[in-house]
Amino acid sequence: MMAGVPLEELRAKALQEVEQAPGLEDLRRVEQEVLGRRSPLTLAHRSLGSLPLDERRDAGARINQVRSEIQEAIEGKRRALEEAERAARLEADRLDLTEVLATWGPGHLHLVTQTRDELEDVFVGMGFAVAEGPEVETDWYNFEALNYPPAHPARAAQDSFYLKVGEPEQVLLRTHTSPMQVRLLLTSELPIYAVMPGRCYRRETADARHRPAFHQIEALVVDRGITFADLAGTIEEFTEAYFGPGIASRLRPGSFPFTEPSGEYEVTCTICRGRGCRTCSGTGWIELGGCGMVDPAVFGNVGIDAEEWSGFAFGFGIDRLVQVRHGLSDMRVLQENDIRFLRQF
C-alpha cells in the first residue's frame, strides 16, 4: 500500500512497541514514533491525496481506524504504567511501623509490678488474703489512728505530700501502707491474715536507695494468742520463699508508734555480699522494712479488745526487695524507663 509499508504490519509493530514500553517516559517516545508528525502512519495519511477518490476514502477510513486503535492501546498502557508507578512510590514511602516491635519484642509488666504479683503469690501460699486501699489518705488513718501523736517527730521523718483539700495538713498522699492496717481493723471480721501492697509517697530526693514514689507491702495478722515468735517465723519463711537460700536476714530492735515491741528487718547486701559498699552505706545490710506486735493503743483506737486479741504487722519496701533480689546498685533504674534495663526482666 502507501509508502510501501503494509498497514497491517505498521499496526502490529506499533501495538507491540506500546505493549513493551517499560515506563511512562518510554511510552511517550513510542507515541511520538508511531503517531507523531513524522510517523509512518501520518505519512501514509498525508499520501492519501495521491490516490484515486474511491480508494482514498477506504484507505483513509482504515488508517483512522488503526490510529484510534493504537491511541486506545497507548491510553490503556499509560493507565497501567501510572498505576504501577504509584504503587511503587507508595511501597517506597511506606513507614515500617513494625520496626520497634521487631527490635524490642512485645512489652511486659514492669519489674516492680512483677515483683508485687510474686510477693502476693508467696503470701497467698501462706494463707494470707490480699487487700488494696487508697493512695490519698487522711491524717487520721496515716498517723493518728496509728498512734503518732500530733507533732511527733516520726511525722516529720515521713516528709509528707499534703493536698490542698479541707483543713490544712489533713489530707495527704499516704507515706506508708500502714493506714491499711487501720482500714482492715475497722472493716474486717477477726481473725485477720492479710497483705496490702501499694504505692506510697514521701517528699525526698531519689538516690541509690530511695524514690519519692515507692511501693510497700504491708502485712497484718490478728488472732487469739499471736506472739512475736509467729512474726519472726513468718518473716523467716517469707525470706526463704522469696530470696531462696544464700540470703541472710536479721531483726534488729526498732521503734514505731504503732508496734510494741518493734523490729527492723534487714538482709545481707547483695551488692557487696556484706563487706560494705555505697549501696548499703558501708553496713553490709540493707533495711527492707519494719515490723512488730500491734500496739494495744492501735487496738484501742479501732475498738478491738487487746485482752482477747493480739497481732503482728510488718511493712516492706517492694522496690528495696527488687533491689536486693536483682543486685541493683542504684534504685533509680526502676523509674528511668530505660528499655535496655526493663527488657532484661
Give SS3 for 155: helix
Instruction: Output the smallest distance, CB 252 to ligand DAH, in A.
Output: 12
Q: How far is CA 139 from CA 90, 133, 149, 220, 316, in A?
A: 62, 15, 11, 20, 21
137: contact with ligand DAH by CB under 6 A: no
Which cell is 126 given? 501462706
Select from 182, 313, 324, 331 the one that contacts ligand DAH (CB under 6 A).
313
**Cα–Cα distance between 80 and 32 in angstroms, integer?**
19
Look up cell 526498732; give the residue.
254
CB nearer to ligand DAH: give 175 or 268: 175
Select from 176, 183, 211, 215 the one that contacts ligand DAH (CB under 6 A).
176
**Cα–Cα distance between 339 and 344 in angstroms, integer?**
9
Near ligand DAH in 6-35, by CB under 6 A: none
What is the DSSP code string of 39-92? Answer: SHHHHHHHGGGGS-HHHHHHHHHHHHHHHHHHHHHHHHHHHHHHHHHHHHHHHH
CB nearer to ligand DAH: give 218 or 266: 218
Look up cell 515521713; give the residue.
158
Select from 198, 257, 290, 311 the one that contacts ligand DAH (CB under 6 A).
290
**Cα–Cα distance between 206 and 215 in angstroms, integer?**
14
CB nearer to ligand DAH: give 59 or 265: 265
DSSP-derived letter for residue 292 is E
Which cell is 104 given? 524490642
Instruction: Output the smallest distance, CB 256 to ligand DAH, in A.
Output: 4
Select from 39, 178, 270, 310 the one that contacts ligand DAH (CB under 6 A).
178
Q: Which one of 3-11, 116-124, 137-145, 283-291 is the stretch in contact with ligand DAH (CB under 6 A)?
A: 283-291
142: contact with ligand DAH by CB under 6 A: no
Select from 256, 285, 299, 309 the one that contacts ligand DAH (CB under 6 A).
256
Give SS3 for 264: strand
259: contact with ligand DAH by CB under 6 A: yes
CB nearer to ligand DAH: give 285 or 314: 314
Residue count, binding to ligand DAH (CB under 6 A): 13
Burial class (CB in 10 A: 0-12, 13-18, 19+), 223: middle
315: contact with ligand DAH by CB under 6 A: yes
DSSP-derived letter for residue 23 is S
292: contact with ligand DAH by CB under 6 A: yes
Residues within the interface to ligand DAH (CB under 6 A): 176, 178, 218, 256, 259, 262, 289-292, 313-315
